[in-house]
Structure 1
């Protein structure tokens, strides 16, 4: 059995984690997700990811499981499990396409639509809390910088700039 190292290697100890843009973005995303989950669990009985999926389907941005997998950067089996849970709760259904029987579209039930309609207020209140003390100009600048980061990531993965610039949701 290997004993844990009492001191980290110099490459690890020299790295300023708190100054890492990736780490900071990850922590902000985690904090935002946790705050949304606290609200959605208390008010709606679902997680932030489930609520976000309902919102994405309601908005028309993601109507196929593959689109959800791309949007959230998760594999198809994880999306299938997520959709299964939402379907079991009666919040969405799978609907075969009339044009292409291989394609299965996602559709919200009336209860799913009602939850999706509540999500902008939840997203806005969480974002307002996280951006407390920011001026409108600072908020606009932050959004501009984040759009540039997304555009750069899209270029790295061969996607279009439009897909990054059109992601102005508050979640």
Structure 2
């Protein structure tokens, strides 16, 4: 079986110079590092820990909000919630105002795990940003917020008012 020659535009493309590729690799490395910690320390994946954290923080209280936040389909979110519910980390509660809506609530064990996630996130980010100056970290965050705004994502406008631009992990 003959393999087709690589088109010149593909072979000329320098993947290592692609901002998209680099962002993707950093995100993948960060996720893998968080998963290594959460599996070892908590017995859950980074996504499960992150979901527990999002529910605990009040940012995502509905499955649809989680789907939007993570850019995954509703059925994948449902499977993740099913696993967390089966483990006794969260529960589904019908809304009194709208019986169609199902709110997510953490169990005491789910809250305990969510409370441990910031230290894990911070530890991973400290390792990834080792050697960066506070100014570089602030500039990186500023650029990432601008990219989010350019994409139409209002998250770029959000900024934790208690965080300092010198803090590596904010």
Q: Provide the rounded CA distance (Å) in 2 between the counterparts of 1:3 and 1:98.
A: 64
* Shift of residue 130, structure 1, vs aligned partner: 0.1
Matches within 5 A, 1:9-158: 9-154=7-152
TM-score (norm 1): 0.90
Q: Provide the rounded CA distance (Å) in 2 between the counterparts of 1:93 and 1:167.
A: 29
What is the aligned counterpart of 1:164 among 152, 156, 167? Answer: 156
Where does residue 4 of structure 1 map in the other structure? Answer: 3
* Shift of residue 3, structure 1, vs aligned partner: 4.4
Q: Provide the rounded CA distance (Å) in 2 between the counterparts of 1:57 and 1:42.
A: 22
Q: Provide the rounded CA distance (Å) in 2 between the counterparts of 1:4 and 1:78.
A: 36
2:91 is paired with a residue of what secondary structure?
strand
* Shift of residue 4, structure 1, vs aligned partner: 3.4
* Shift of residue 11, structure 1, vs aligned partner: 1.4
* Shift of residue 97, structure 1, vs aligned partner: 0.3
Q: Provide the rounded CA distance (Å) in 2 between the counterparts of 1:37 and 1:56.
A: 16
Alpha carbons of structure 1 residues 132 and 44: separation in structure 2 relative to 1, 3 Å: same
Residues 88, 109 of structure 2: 8 Å contact kept: yes
Q: Provide the rounded CA distance (Å) in 2 between the counterparts of 1:143 and 1:68.
A: 23
The unaligned stretches of length 5 or more in structure 2 are 164-168
2:104 is paired with a residue of what secondary structure?
strand
Greater than 2 Å deviation, 4+ residue runs? 2-5, 167-171
Per-residue CA deviation, residues 113-141 of structure 1 (Å, 9 max, x unaligned), is: 00000000000000000000000000000
TM-score (norm 2): 0.91
